[in-house]
Amino acid sequence: MNRLALLLETTKAIPEDHFNMGSFFEGVDDVKEGTKLLKDCGTSGCVIGWACCHPKFVGLRKRLQEDWFNAGYSHYVATLSFAKYFGISRHQAEELFFNFDQTKQEAIKRIERLLCK
C-alpha cells in the first residue's frame, strides 16, 4: 500500500470528535499503541499527528524528529518534508497538512484527489 493510500485509511479511522487540524500530538515518542491510546485519553490531533501514531508510519515519525522538530517546527521545512515523504508537491502538502480550518471530510477528499492523480 502506498503512503497516500495508508494516510487515507488512517484519516478515515480518526474519530470525528478527535480530529483537529490545529492540534498536533505532543510526545509522539510516547505513543506506543497509537490510536487506541489516544482515543482512550480523549486527545485530538491533525492528519499528520494521527498518521504518526500508525505503526506503519515509523518513517514519518523519524522524519518529523529529524527535519521538523530539529528545525524548530519550521513551517517551510515541514511542508518540504511532508511533500517528499508522501510524493506530492510542496503546494499539495501545504493544502493538505496546513489548512487548519479543514474538516476531516475535506482532508479525506483532498487525499482522494491526490490518489487519483
Per-residue pLDDT of the chain (117 residues; tens, 9 = 90+): 699 999 999 999 988 888 888 877 644 444 444 444 444 455 677 898 888 878 888 788 777 777 766 766 677 888 888 898 999 999 999 999 988 899 999 999 999 999 997
Domain that holds residue 27: 3-116
- Count of domains for the chain: 1
50-59 LR contacts (CB < 8 Å, sep 24+): 50/10, 50/11, 50/14, 50/19, 50/25, 51/7, 51/10, 51/11, 52/25, 52/28, 53/25, 53/28, 54/6, 54/10, 56/6, 57/3, 57/6, 57/10, 59/85
pTM of the predicted protein model: 0.79
